[in-house]
């Protein structure tokens, strides 16, 4: 199965903190580290480590971080023909992780926001024969819109993770999404502030989204469509760092989903995400297929 990821690549700067600081509060970190990340890169690596053929379309800077990102893609066997090397810095994320493994993330887009719709169109051949295109919201909205249109034109199914949610997103493009993957916060924001999950899901389905994958943290996950409502329980583990859990879930799901094995693919993705939260970092926490299979 071929999967193309259109999205972000970042260098993560990770701060271990006793608690997430409140407004106006200054605290000291207990440990500092760096790790490769970015939603696009995380999802691409997750899919590749679960056995999929993966290509990425994105942008990196002509800096040391960009070189390290490119080296990782080569190591993971991810096609990087669609990678644009831009003058200036690569994307960066500043992540605070508390003693319970919960986090806050601030992203400096860097080269990610210099990716253009023209570049994606010029590299449309990367999308040929792809089963899925995975997208997020760490690139500019015009790139998202043009890629959604291109995928529709080429018959490529879209898995869209609207994170971070951008209030300026044109909701008419929801009709171009085959699989919308949201957590609780994203579901509320994308549904216009509807806090009742059932009403929010119904609203999005009515707006043209074909399928919704709702990740609920410790409450598990759901696959919802007009015909289906499948619930998958969470795997109980001791969480160390939740940074790449959602991205791991998405990449793992895409790698296993054949369009009809909803329960199996969701269960596999849940196992992969559970393994990821037991480890620190983003890329370093993403498991390989043999590890996930051992949890079965």
Q: What pLDDT was estimated at residue 59?
A: 99
Q: What pLDDT was estimated at residue 60?
A: 98
Whether residue 217 is annotated as binding a ligand: the answer is yes
Whether residue 103 is annotated as binding a ligand: the answer is no
Q: What pLDDT was estimated at residue 112?
A: 98
Q: What pLDDT was estimated at residue 101?
A: 82
CATH superfamily of 2-7+38-90+112-294: Ribokinase (3.40.1190.20)
User: In the beta sheet, which residues pair with residue 97?
Assistant: 16, 103
**pLDDT over 90 (residue 218):** no
Kindly report, residue by residue over 126-159, the tens digit of the pLDDT.
Answer: 999 999 999 999 999 999 999 999 999 999 999 9
Whether residue 247 is annotated as binding a ligand: the answer is yes
| Reported pTM | 0.93
Q: What pLDDT was estimated at residue 151?
A: 98
Is 247 considered catalytic here? yes
Q: What pLDDT was estimated at residue 236?
A: 86
| 3-state SS, one letter per residue, for the chain | CEEEEECCCEEEEEEECCCCCCCCCCCCCCEEEEEEECHHHHHHHHHHHCCCEEEEEEEEECCHHHHHHHHHHHHHCCEEEEEEEECCCCEEEEEEECCCCCEEEEEECHHHHHCCHHHHHHCHHHHCCCCEEEECCCCCHHHHHHHHHHHHHHCCEEEECCCCCCCCCCHHHHHHCCEEEECHHHHHHHCCCCCCHHHHHHHHHHCCCCEEEEECHHHCEEEECCCCEEEECCCCCCCCCCCCHHHHHHHHHHHHCCCCCHHHHHHHHHHHHHHHCCCCCCHHHCCCHHHHHHCC
What are the extents of the domains in the chain? 2-7+38-90+112-294
Catalytic residue among 79, 247, 258, 293: 247
Whether residue 178 is annotated as binding a ligand: the answer is no
């Amino acid at each position: 199965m071929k999967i193309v990821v259109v999205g972000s690549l970042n260098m993560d700067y990770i701060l271990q903190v006793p608690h997430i600081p409140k407004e106006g509060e200054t605290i000291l970190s207990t440990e500092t580290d760096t790790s490769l990340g970015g939603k696009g890169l995380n999802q691409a690596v997750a899919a590749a480590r679960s056995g999929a053929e993966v290509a990425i379309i994105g942008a990196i800077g002509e800096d040391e971080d960009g070189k390290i990102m490119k080296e990782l893609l080569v190591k993971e066997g991810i096609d990087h023909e669609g990678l644009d090397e831009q003058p200036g810095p690569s994307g960066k994320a500043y992540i605070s992780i508390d003693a319970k493994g919960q986090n806050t993330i601030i992203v400096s887009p860097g080269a990610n926001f210099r990716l253009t719709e023209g570049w994606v169109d010029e590299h449309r051949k990367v999308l040929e024969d792809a089963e899925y295109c995975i997208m997020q919201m760490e690139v500019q909205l015009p790139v998202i819109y043009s890629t959604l249109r291109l995928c529709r034109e080429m018959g490529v199914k879209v898995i869209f993770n609207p994170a971070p949610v951008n209030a300026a997103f044109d909701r008419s493009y929801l009709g171009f999404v085959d699989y919308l993957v949201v957590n609780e916060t994203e579901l509320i924001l994308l549904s216009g502030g509807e806090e009742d999950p059932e009403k929010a899901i119904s609203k999005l389905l009515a707006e043209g989204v074909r399928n919704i994958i709702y990740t609920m943290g410790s409450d598990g996950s759901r696959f919802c469509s007009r015909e289906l409502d499948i619930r998958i329980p969470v795997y109980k583990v001791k969480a160390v760092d939740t940074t790449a859990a959602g991205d791991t879930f998405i990449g793992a799901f895409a790698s296993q989903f054949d369009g009809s094995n909803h329960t199996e693919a969701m269960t596999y993705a849940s196992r992969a995400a559970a393994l990821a939260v037991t480890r620190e970092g983003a890329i370093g926490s993403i498991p390989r297929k043999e590890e996930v299979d051992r949890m079965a």
